[in-house]
Amino acid sequence: MEEIKDGLKKAGFKGELDDRPASLDFYSHDASMFELRPRLIVMPGDGKDVERLVKLVAGQKSTHPGLSLTARSAGTCMSGGAINDSIIVDFSKHFTKIEKVTATSAQAQPGVFYRDFEPETLKHQALMPSYPASRDLATIGGMVNNNAGGEKSLEFGKTEDFVTELEFVFADGIQRTVKPLNRAELDKKMKQKDFESEVYRKLFKLVDGHYDQIKAAKPHVSKNSTGYNLWDVWDRDSGVFDLTKLIVGGQGTLGFVTDIHFRLVPVRPHSGLLVLFMKGLDDLGEVIPKVLEAKPATFESFDDATLWLSIRFMPSFLKLLGWRRFIHLLITLIPDALQLLRGIPKLILMVEFNGETEQEVRDRVRALHSELKKHRARYEINGFEETPTEGKSEKFWIMRRYSFQLLRSKVKDKHTAPFIDDFVVPPQHLTAFLPQLRAIIKKYKLFATIAGHMGDGNFHVIPLMKLEDPADRKKILPAMKAVNKLVLKYDGSLSGEHNDGLVRGPWLEQMYGKEMLNIFKQAKHIMDPQNIFNPHKKADADWEFSFSHIRDHF
């Protein structure tokens, strides 16, 4: 790495370089179950620094084949997408500018934390609604590269639906603007004599030449983060070619995003939450269609294991929330504690409606409540006088949003192993699917919480395991295969939000078939011919490599 360090200094690199052992140890992990120790951490100061770095690595790749670059900001990736055994490029230190916000759009750099971004949009009564459950921890760059979604995706869609333009450093080390092009603009782009024109020519030939096959490969689910989103790059009917659709969700395997333009949506001032305590799963076939017919803003769920975890570690919420919110949480939980005396529910469903007036919200919540009250449905209305953090329904959102943080930090003898954590099954199949999923969890004796986006059929199953124990490690592959087979049996997707990374990349052939996997590989090679960017992830993943890098110490 000395050549890289010297080369960057000679090129006028403005940022920082770090190869201290403690730093390399820290960057060897993200929120996944994997470990890859890098050799150098690079913190670029601006876009020119990123260009210098990519050009230098591209120039030395032929003589140093092991060189590669992996983007990282918050390091919250659960699929292993933010770790690497070569160079980590940390965007969280300097790429932190929120450049422009209006009532309809925003421009910001990838290292901006969503928790800092949202207050600025709320000043304009606007929202970028595809935030994940880890909204307090994630950056917008990670959201773009993983094609994040969350509790509002049922109504608004995922991050891919809100990115309008990107600044992007290509594999030749040049930063360019990427945005949708009409056919005339595309033809002009393809006539250039540079690497960018080569990318557009080859990608257009790939997606147009396999048009029907690519369109047919699009998963029939409401959200998907597997593979490369080639089916939305080129549309013959509209004549629009949109390379942002490929980059969003590309997990940093195609190049580096350095600036992002978002479309925003208006914030609705009123919300109401209907909560259902399900004794079992048999009634889901009746409940889910009725809820979806009502067109809620969100339809979330968490299971009895998540509930018990929240109760067991209730004191931990004091640190997360502070005294005022913690006391409020305890007080508002009293009515629900009385509900629990009637029996612990197998599943808690949360159905939220938003509206312009309090009466509109009340009418919609009460209408659904009257249909579902036999399922122990109760509701809370957040009126105009209550802020989102003071509303009566906050307790349920706290349990839903903070469950993974509790798992990671509080269960000391076991560790989170997110290897079946993000699948999507069409909601109409959930009544049949969920009991079979629970049977697999029971068969392999996994302690796992189940939470997710019920309206999308997108579930996060987080097993707790002793990964240093060979007996537990042996469970991973057969349990993963069993769940994958079950998901695909019901025409689902192996990832709705968390992407492929090291954990799901090896199973893309199982989901899409050999021919489509080969098309994914071609797209990767067109964008990144030397395999500089984030190797061993997505279509470049291999299970032997991934499995050999599962953590064995904590």
Confidence of residue 474 (pLDDT cuts 50, 70, 90): very high
CA dihedral 350, 354, 360, 363 (to 10 degrees): -10
Answer yes or no: is 212 within a domain. Answer: yes
Helix, strand, or coil (residue 545): helix
Q: Give the Cα separation of 188 and 201 in Å (integer).
A: 11
C-beta separation of 144 from 108 below 8 A: no
* Per-residue model confidence as pLDDT tens digits over 104-157: 999 999 999 999 999 999 999 999 999 998 888 999 999 999 999 998 999 999
The residue whose two tokens read 């409020």 is 328
Helix, strand, or coil (residue 349): strand
Q: Mean pLDDT over all residues of the chain?
A: 89
Confidence of residue 237 (pLDDT cuts 50, 70, 90): very high
Answer yes or no: is 28 within a domain. Answer: no
**Domain count for the chain:** 1
Q: Is the pLDDT of residue 273 over 50?
A: yes
Helix, strand, or coil (residue 494): coil
* Per-residue model confidence as pLDDT tens digits over 41-76: 999 999 999 999 999 999 999 999 999 999 999 999
Q: Is the pLDDT of residue 401 over 70?
A: no
Q: Which of 270-284, 320-334, 421-435 has the lowest mean pLDDT?
A: 320-334
Amino acid residing at 440: I
Q: Residue 238 burial by CB count (10 A; 0-12/13-18/19+): exposed, middle or buried? A: exposed
Q: Give the Cα separation of 471 and 442 in Å (integer).
A: 16
Answer yes or no: is 133 within a domain. Answer: yes
Amino acid residing at 238: S
**Tokens in use for 144?**
């773009």
Q: Kindly give, in sequence order, each residue whose CB lies less than 8 Å from that of residue 109, ignoring residues fewer than 6 positions away.
A: 91, 95, 96, 97, 98, 99, 141, 258, 259, 260
Answer yes or no: is 257 within a domain. Answer: yes
**Tokens in use for 184?**
């005339």
Amino acid residing at 280: G
Q: What is the pLDDT of residue 30?
A: 95
C-beta separation of 29 from 76 below 8 A: no
Q: Report the pLDDT averaged over residues 230-255.
A: 98
Q: What is the pLDDT of residue 259?
A: 98
Here the CATH number for the domain that contains residue 180 is: 3.30.465.10
Name which of 401, 423, 406, 549 is nearest 464 in CA terms.
406
Name which of 387, 371, 143, 165 is nearest 270 in CA terms.
387
Answer yes or no: is 190 within a domain. Answer: yes
Compute the radius of gyration of the chain from its Cα atoms. Answer: 23
The residue whose two tokens read 């009634």 is 283
Answer yes or no: is 218 within a domain. Answer: yes
Which DSSP string corresponds to 133-169? TTTTT-BHHHHHHHT---TTHHHH--GGGTEEEEEEE
Q: Is the pTM of this model over 0.75?
A: yes
For 9, 86, 255, the CA distances from 50, given in Å and listed in that order, are 13, 16, 10
Q: Which of 72-76, 367-371, 513-517 has the lowest mean pLDDT?
A: 367-371
Confidence of residue 410 (pLDDT cuts 50, 70, 90): very low
Domain that holds residue 104: 98-266
Name which of 447, 527, 524, 457 is nearest 479 in CA terms.
447
Answer yes or no: is 168 within a domain. Answer: yes
Answer yes or no: is 383 within a domain. Answer: no
Q: Report the pLDDT averaged over residues 393-416.
A: 60
Name which of 147, 15, 34 is nearest 85 in CA terms.
34
Q: What is the pLDDT of residue 285?
A: 84
